[in-house]
């Protein structure tokens, strides 16, 4: 059976997968630490009740009718806060009361932790999740969405992190639970769902996002995601990956600002490597941030407006971005910079550069 073309598959419509909700990364405490914290809280409550009883000690009497001392106060606190009761069985010696304080009561606290702790954690987990989600949504803006956490999506995330984008400003969308779990473990916000769904993209706050990287495994999925994302946010920077060159134009027509053809780009590099392997090594350096040669983009300062040749010697200008148009270095219009220009330049990581963006 012949494989249907991309356009034929798109005409069949789309199956939308509902979002499973936002998944905020969090730090999981080891079980021993979590239990230790609960025990400290329980002991703190005992001390608090004892302090209250000590302040009001004139209003308490021991079973013999005498005034209470510090030992009696702590005994009262322990049997009260653990709901064990008091008055029916009364220790008459200090050793018995010490045993109740230091041996019996800790056993009761541990029992309550084991019996109630897990239930309370389950009941409060969703509340904490909703609180973290509200807090994230309240402060997130100009974030990045990665639609597809495969090889391409992970590489895009590494580049963003290398460019000092905060991990909680990167939202990963994938239909595979294991991918979302991996994204969370790397400190990224995750959404389990189909990125071609409007509900899923809206859950990722696409209206407030700065850019979206469309990197699913199949080109038909990339087109659907691109169409939906562009419809929801007309001004977002949309970068898409295509496996086949013939689908690149369809992605551009769907609203992608840039399309990277992975198979064609890899083929060009393979062919070039047979004739000029050192040239391919330079291209690999340019594609890998922080190693050897890097390519960057930055805004021009006011004191840099003028002849192109007067710019910093440690930054080799290859293009100028002027009002959205890319001017190569050999374009006559690029020989003199203007206010509002941005430059695209090459630089070496051996040279300290704090201006690149």
- What token pair was written down for 133? 């989600």
**295-315 burial, b if ≥16 CB within 10 A, otherwise e?**
bbebebeeebeeeeeebeeeb
What's the confidence (pLDDT) of residue 61? Answer: 64
CA distance 151 to 262: 11
What's the confidence (pLDDT) of residue 88? Answer: 41
* CA contacts within 13 A on the Cβ side of 213: 24
Mean pLDDT, rounded, of the chain: 78
| pLDDT digit string, tens, across residues 276-288 | 788 777 777 776 6
CA distance 12 to 16: 13
211-214/237-242 β-pairing: parallel
The mean pLDDT value for 204-228 works out to 93
Say whether pLDDT at 15 is over 70: no
| pLDDT digit string, tens, across residues 316-354 | 888 999 988 889 988 999 899 898 899 998 888 764 444
The mean pLDDT value for 95-111 works out to 67
What's the confidence (pLDDT) of residue 30? Answer: 65
How many CB atoms within 10 Å of residue 271? 11
Q: Is the sign of the CA dihedral 306, 309, 313, 316 positive or negative?
A: positive
**Secondary structure, 3-state, 133-181:** HHHHHHHCCCCEEEECCCHHHHHHHHHHHHCCCCHHHEEEEECCHHHHH
307 contact partners, CB below 8 Å, separation of at least 6: 335, 336, 337
Structural domains of the chain, with CATH: 31-138 (no CATH), 141-265 (3.40.50.720), 292-357 (3.30.70.1450)
| pLDDT digit string, tens, across residues 112-149 | 776 676 666 666 766 777 777 888 888 888 999 999 99
What's the confidence (pLDDT) of residue 4? Answer: 47
Judge contact between 350 and 344, C-beta under 8 A. Answer: no
Q: What is the dihedral of CA 191, 196, 201, 203, to 10 degrees?
A: -50
What's the confidence (pLDDT) of residue 10? Answer: 47
Judge contact between 225 and 243, C-beta under 8 A. Answer: no
Q: Could you tell me how many residues make up the chain?
A: 357
CA distance 141 to 177: 25
The mean pLDDT value for 185-200 works out to 92
CA distance 97 to 62: 12
- In sequence order, what E strands does the chain have? 22-23, 144-147, 170-174, 189-192, 211-214, 237-242, 258-261, 293-299, 316-322, 325-328, 342-348
């Amino acid at each position: 059976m012949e494989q249907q073309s991309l356009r034929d598959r798109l005409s069949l419509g789309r199956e939308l997968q509902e979002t499973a909700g936002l998944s905020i990364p969090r730090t999981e405490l080891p079980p021993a630490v979590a239990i230790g914290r609960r025990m400290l809280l329980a002991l703190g409550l005992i001390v608090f009740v004892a302090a209250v009883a000590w302040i009001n000690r004139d209003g308490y009497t021991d079973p013999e009718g005498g005034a209470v001392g510090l030992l009696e106060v702590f005994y009262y606190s322990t049997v009260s806060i653990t709901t064990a009761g008091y008055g029916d069985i009364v220790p008459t010696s200090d050793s018995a009361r010490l045993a109740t304080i230091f041996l019996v009561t800790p056993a009761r606290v541990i029992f309550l932790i084991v019996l109630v702790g897990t239930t309370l954690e389950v009941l409060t987990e969703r509340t904490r999740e909703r609180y973290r989600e509200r807090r994230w949504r309240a402060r997130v803006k100009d974030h990045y969405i990665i639609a597809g956490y495969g090889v391409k999506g992970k590489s895009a995330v590494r580049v963003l992190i290398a460019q000092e984008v905060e991990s909680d400003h990167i939202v990963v969308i994938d239909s595979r639970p294991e991918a979302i779990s991996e994204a969370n473990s790397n400190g990224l916000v995750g959404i389990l769902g189909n990125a071609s769904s409007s509900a899923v993209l809206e859950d990722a706050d696409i209206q407030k996002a700065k850019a979206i990287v469309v990197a699913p495994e199949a080109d038909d999925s990339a087109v659907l995601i691109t169409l939906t994302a562009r419809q929801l946010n007309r001004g977002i920077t949309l970068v898409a990956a295509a496996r086949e060159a013939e689908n690149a134009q369809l992605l551009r027509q769907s609203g992608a600002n840039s399309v990277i053809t992975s198979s064609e780009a890899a083929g060009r590099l393979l062919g070039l490597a047979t004739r000029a392997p050192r040239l391919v090594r330079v291209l690999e350096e340019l594609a890998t941030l922080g190693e050897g040669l890097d390519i960057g983009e930055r805004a021009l300062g006011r004191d840099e407006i003028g002849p192109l040749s007067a710019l910093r010697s440690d930054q080799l200008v290859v293009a100028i971005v002027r009002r959205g148009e890319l001017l190569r270095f050999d374009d006559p219009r690029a020989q003199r910079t203007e206010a509002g220009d941005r430059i695209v330049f090459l630089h070496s990581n051996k040279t300290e550069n704090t201006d690149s963006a």
